[in-house]
Amino acid sequence: MVMKALIFDCDGVLVDTERDGHRVAFNQAFLDFGIETEWGVDLYGKLLKRVSGGKERLYLYFNETGWPQDAGDDRDGYVARFHAHKSTLFQQLVRDGALSLRPGINRITDEARAAGMKLAVCTTARLESVLAVLNLMGPERKSWFEHVLAGDIVSRKKPDPAVYRLAAEKLALDPLECMVIEDSNHGLRAALGAGMNCVITTSSYTWNEDFSGAKKIVDKLGEPPGANLSIDDLKRFCR
């Protein structure tokens, strides 16, 4: 197959967001909601491996440790309010410059664009948070992304392949014409489950996960002269 689309995960791929972004925002939200809880680096890493999606991690944690009294009988509403506030805090971190694009992201995006490929993002993150990250690319690059499939756009999150199947449908492409860049086992399984090709760029929480089935595993995309992956490499993997 000829590669016709490059699809990015967001958290851990575009920006290494989890440890110093989302985790920090969750902890501030706990304070703001009057919850005496802090997700340390190790605990947050364990939660990431168990479930995808911020709201899903809240349900998991509260179910196991006890729900705040404020949640009452409307746990869904409580999680929705908490997660919306946490996402606002995360977006402010991005705007304040606390996080930056990973090395090679702009480069490989430019190469894909020059090769006439379609661009998309598939992620469990909230749409507003993804758009804040894409702003780091600048308005021109951001405009190149035809689809940003985020948050609850599908009912089943990674490792379920639903979001990548939806991407293939919206891009009007055979899944084998798509190359995915992921950073986690959950994301890899989702991409492979949809029949897509996938390469891995490991992040701070995922370097030791099982990536069987990935076309290639690198610690970062990188910049010349030390770039680890180019668009020509990805095209070759698709063939």
Catalytic residues: 9, 11
Q: Give the DSSP letter string of 42-65.
A: HHHHHHHHH--SHHHHHHHHHHHH
**Which amino acid does the sequence have at 179?**
M
Position of tokens 């749409």? Answer: 127
- Residue 106, Cβ density class (10 Å: 0-12 exposed, 13-18 middle, ≥19 buried): middle
Q: Kind and range of the H or E element at 170?
A: helix 162-171
- Given a contact cutoff of 8 angstroms between Cβ atoms, the answer to whether 164 and 175 are in contact is yes
Tokens of 107: 């480069």
Cα separation, 235 vs 178, in Å, equals: 10
Cα separation, 122 vs 99, in Å, equals: 20
Tokens of 15: 């920006």
- CA atoms 147, 153, 154, 159: torsion sign: positive
What is the distance of C-alpha 179 from the center of its chain? 15
29-41 burial, b for 16+ CB within 10 Å, e for fewer? bbeebeeebebee
- Given a contact cutoff of 8 angstroms between Cβ atoms, the answer to whether 208 and 228 are in contact is no
